[in-house]
Amino acid sequence: MTRVVVPIGPQHPALKEPVNFRVIADGERIVELELNLSYSHRGIEKAAEQRDFIRALPLIERVCGICSHSHTTAFSKGIEEIMGVEVPPRAQYIRTIIAELERMHSHLLWLGVAAHEVGFNTLFMWTWRDREAIQDTLEEMTGNRVHYIMNEVGGVRLDLSPLQVEAALVRLPVLEERIRAYVEMVEAEETMLTRFRGVGCLSRDEALCFGAVGPTARASGVDYDVRRDDPYLAYAEIPWNVVTDTNGDVYGRTRVRIGELGESLAMVRYCLEHLPDGPIRVSVPKTAPPGEILSRYEAPRGELVHFIRTNGTDRVERIDIRTPTLANWTSVAHCLIGRPLADVPVIVAAIDPCLSCTSRITVSNRGEDAASGTPPRTGWEG
Amino acid sequence: MADPLLLAAYILIFPGFLFLFAYSMVFEFLDRRIVARMQNRVGPPFFQPFADIVKTLGKEVIDPEGVDRPIFDAAPIVALAAVMTAFLYVPVIGASPLAFQGDLVLVLYLLTLPTLALMLLGWLSRNIYAAVGGVRAVTMLFIYEVPFFLALVMPTLMAGTWSVSEIMAWQKEHLWLAVLQPIAFVIALIGLQAKLERTPFDIPEAETEIVAGPWTELTGRRLALMHLANQSAAVAGSALIAAVFLGGPALPWASGSAVLDAIAGFLLFLAKTLAILLILATVRGATARIRLDQLNVIGWKYITTAALAQVAIVLVMNAWEVGA
Amino acid sequence: MTVLSEMLRNLVSRPTTTLYPVEKVPIPDAFRGRVECADERCIGCSKCSLVCPASAITMVENQREVEFRGKTMVRKKKPQVSLYSCIRCGLCERHCPADAMHLRNVLSASGPTCEEVIM
C-alpha cells in the first residue's frame, strides 16, 4: 500500500500550540512518526540571565500561561534555598492555595479539551463553565485570571483578606458537586469511553523507560509525586493522597486527573480554613551567594525541574528549565505507532501538552559547518 | 393537480424549492439553538444560518493549484440539485403530486448523491486531509447504507406499495409504522444521523483529526451550496422519515375541505419533522465521535443484525396479518 | 447525574452566558488594571522605573512639594508609564515606598493612539 505523509501541525485544529508530527500513514494506520518541537522557543532562559531576581520573576512566569505559578514558585524556592532564607508559614500556605487552585483549573481545562478532541463538545462547554468559578477566585485573590505574580523571593506579594477567604470557601461546595458529576459522566458516557479505553497504553516499565512524569506516569502505576517524595511549600503538613491508576491508557489518565481535582479541592479548603497568621514575606539580601540548585515542583502536568546556578551577583548565571511536557513527548511518539490516525489528537491531548513550556534549547553547529563549507545548521532540541 | 401553473408553483415556491431553503435554515437555527441551550450557552440568533449562506456566497473562491475546476464547481451544485429533487417526492402538505410507484427508491438514491459528491471533492482536492476525509465518507456510506435502506424498505413490505405518498396514506387506516416496526424506526434515525454526518458519526469532517475532511478546500459559493445541500438533506431526510414512519402530513380522519386538509397536514408535517430534529439534536449533543473502525464493528454487528431481525419480524407479522 | 438528564435540565434553564453589553462581568477590587501615580505622594525615587520588567516607566522632569514620612520635600521627577508596554504585573505598586503607584481596577491600554501615556 502506498504510504502517505500527513502533516499534523504546526497549524492544526487539534493542537492548541504549534508542534509538528510528520506522520507517515498507511491508510489509517500510523507507520512512522517524526516529532518536531520548539516552534515556541522564545529565549527566556537567556533573557533571565540579564535580569535581577525581582525583574526575572514576571519573565519566568511567562514560560507558560496555565502553569505560571509553578514556574515562579520553583524559581523562588530555588533562590531562597541558595540564600538560606526561611519563608514564613503564612506565605507557604498562600503559595499552596494558589498552586492547588492552578492545578484545579488546569485539570478542568484539560478535561474540556480532551472531550473536545473526541468531538464531545457538550462536556467541553460544561467543564469550562465550571472552571470560571476558579478563575473568579484567582482574580479576586491575585488580580488576574492567569499570570498571578503572587510569588517573590522571600514570600508572597499580596495577603489574603478574610473576605477573600470567605468568598473562595463559598464557591467550593458547588465545584465539589460538579466534580462528582464529572466522575459519574466519565464512567458512564459510552461513546467517550470507547475512544479513551485501550488507547495510548503505556505499561509501567515503558513509562519508567521513557521518563514519563505526572498524571501520565501515575496512570501507569508509577507511584511518584514530588509533593510527597520531596516535600515543599505546605504539602508536608496538609492531609492529602496521591492518586494513581493501573489502567495506563487515556482512560486511566482521565481518572487520575479527576481524582487529583478532588484532592486539590480538599487541599484548598484545608489551607483556607487553617491559614496561619504571621508575616507574608521576609526581607532577602539583594544578591545570592554562588551555588547550584535543582528545584523540583509538581506542576499540573508533572515534575517540573529548575536548575539554577548563581554566582554572587543579583542575577542568575544559568537557569535551565526541564518541563514535564518535554519528558512526556517520547511516550506520545511511542504510543502513536500502529494506531489509527483518529487517535492522534486523543493521545496527544492525554499528556496535557503545553508547548510553550516545552522548547528550551537550540543547538547550533555553526563552527564545524563553517569549516566544512556547508551552511550553518540549527537543530532544535526541545 | 393537472394545472401546469399550480404544479410549477408547487415545485418552485411552496412546498418546493423556496420552502425547502427557508425551512432548512429554520432547521439549522433550531438545531444549533437547541444544542447550545443544552450546553448552557445562548446559541445563534434566528437569522444566523441565512446570514452564513449569504456571507459565504460572497466570499472569494480559492482554487488550489492543479485542481480540476469544472468538477469542483459542479459537485456542490449536483449535490444540491439531488436533494432538491428528492424533496419533491416527499409529502409536505398531503400526497406529493409527482408521486409514482418506486419513488421511495428514487428518493433514497438521490439522498446518497451528496455523500458521493463529497467524496469526489475530497479526492480531487489535492489535499491529504481532504483525501482522507473523502475516503472516510465513502467507507461510512458502505457501513450505514445497508441498514438504512433495509429500515426504509420495511414499510413497503407491510404497506404493499413502493410510493412514499401511498405508505403515508396506508398509515391513515392502520397504526403508525413507528409503532408497528420500532426497530426499523430507530435504525432509520441512526442512519439519518450518519447520512447527515453529525456526531457521533461526523467522522469525515472530524475537525480535530483531519481539519475539515472533504470540506477543507471548499470556499466561497462552493462552500455555501454544499452547506445548503447538507442542511436541505436534513430536512428531506426528516420529512421522509416523518412520512414513512410517523404518518406524515395526513389527518387520521377526513375533514371537509381540501384547504383545511392541506393546512392541517402542513402543521402536522412541521410538528413531526421538528420532533425528529429534537431527537437528532439531542443525540448530537450527548455523544462523542466514534472511530471509523469502531463504527465498522458496531454497524455490521449490531445495527445490520437488528435490521435483519426486523425483516424477519415483519415477514412473520405479514404472514399472521398483524396490523392489517 | 447523567449527560442526558443534565442536557435536558439545561434546555429549560437560563444560559450562564453574561449577555454583554447589557450585562457586564463584575471586576473585583484586586484586579490589576490601569497604573496610576498619585501626584501628591510621589517622591521621584525612580524605584518603579528600576523594577519594571517591561521597561515601561521613564522618569520625566516634574517638580512638586510633597509630604513623605512626616517631612516635606521637593520631588524632582515623576514616572511616565507607557500603557501599551505595561504588563500590569504590579511590581511598581509593590516596591513604591511612598504608596503612590496603584493599579486600579479599570481596564487598561485601549485607545486610539499608540503613544498613550499617563502622568
Across the range A364-377, mean pLDDT stands at 53
Residues with Cβ within 8 Å of B42's Cβ and at least 6 positions away in sequence, in order, are B36, C15, C17, C19
Among B108, B235, B81, CA closest to B164: B108
Please name the residue that has the C-alpha cell 435504525: B187
Lowest mean per-residue pLDDT among A362-376, B70-84, B171-185, B207-221: A362-376
Rounded CA separation A115/A189 (Å): 11
Per-residue pLDDT reduced to its tens digit, B90-140:
999 888 888 899 999 999 999 999 999 999 999 998 888 888 889 889 999
Structural contact between residues C31 and A143, judged by C-beta atoms closer than 8 angstroms: yes
DSSP states of B200-242: TS--TT-HHHHTTGGGTT--HHHHHHHHHHHHHHHHHHHHHHH
pLDDT of A369 > 70? The answer is no
Q: Residue A254's pLDDT is what?
A: 93
C30·A158 Cβ contact <8 A: yes
Q: Out of C7, C16, C19, whose CB is closest to B282?
A: C7
Q: CB C30 to CB A122 under 8 A?
A: no
Q: Is the per-residue pLDDT at B60 higher than 70? A: yes
Range A17-26 average pLDDT: 85
Chain A residues close to B289, C-beta within 8 Å? 118-120, 191, 195
Mean pLDDT of A216-231: 91
Neighbours, chain B (3 or more CB pairs < 8 A): A, C
Share of chain B above pLDDT 90, in %: 57
**Residue A361 at interface with chain C, using a CB cutoff of 8 Å:** no
CA separation for the pair B125, B127 (Å, rounded): 5
Rounded CA Rg of chain C: 21
Tell which of B42, B278, B283 to mutate to test the C interface (max C CBs under 10 Å).
Answer: B42
Judging contacts by C-beta atoms under 8 Å, the chain C residues touching residue B40 are 10, 13, 15-16
Grid coordinates representing B322 are: 398483524
Confidence of residue C83 (pLDDT cuts 50, 70, 90): confident
Residues of chain B positioned with their CB less than 8 A from the CB of A14: 208-209
Interface contact B254, partner C, CB < 8 A? no
In this prediction, residue C109 carries a pLDDT of 67
For residue A204, count CB atoms less than 10 angstroms from its CB and return exposed for 0-12, middle for 13-18, buried for 19 or more.
Answer: middle
Q: Do B41 and C8 touch (CB under 8 A)?
A: no
Chain C touched by A141 (CB under 8 Å): yes
pLDDT band at A99 (very low <50, low <70, confident <90, very high): very high
Q: What is the CA radius of gyration of chain A?
A: 21
The residue among A50, A51, A53, A55 with the most chain C CBs within 10 A of its CB, best to mutate, is A55
Decide: A248 and A217 in contact? Cβ < 8 Å: no
Between positions 100 and 119 of A, the ones with CB within 8 A of B are 115-119
Question: Would you state the cell numbers that stand for residue B5, as one nine-digit string?
Answer: 401553473
Three-state DSSP at A347 gives helix
Reported as a pLDDT band with limits 50, 70 and 90, residue B281 is: very high
pLDDT (average), residues C64-92? 88
List helix spans (H) across chain A.
44-48, 53-61, 68-83, 89-117, 121-142, 162-188, 190-196, 204-210, 214-218, 226-229, 250-273, 324-336, 344-350, 355-358, 366-372
How confident is the model over A226-253, as pLDDT tens digits?
A: 999 989 998 999 999 999 999 889 999 9
Count contacts between B and C (CB, < 8 Å). 29
| C118, C103 Cβ separation under 8 angstroms | no
pLDDT band at A366 (very low <50, low <70, confident <90, very high): low
Average pLDDT of chain B is 90
Contacts of B205 in chain A (CB under 8 A): none
Give the SS3 label for residue B111.
helix
C-alpha cell belonging to residue B140: 461510512
- Cβ–Cβ contact C94 with A under 8 A: yes
Over the stretch C9-49, which tens digit does the pLDDT of each residue have? 888 888 888 888 888 888 888 898 888 888 888 998 899 99
Confidence of residue C116 (pLDDT cuts 50, 70, 90): low
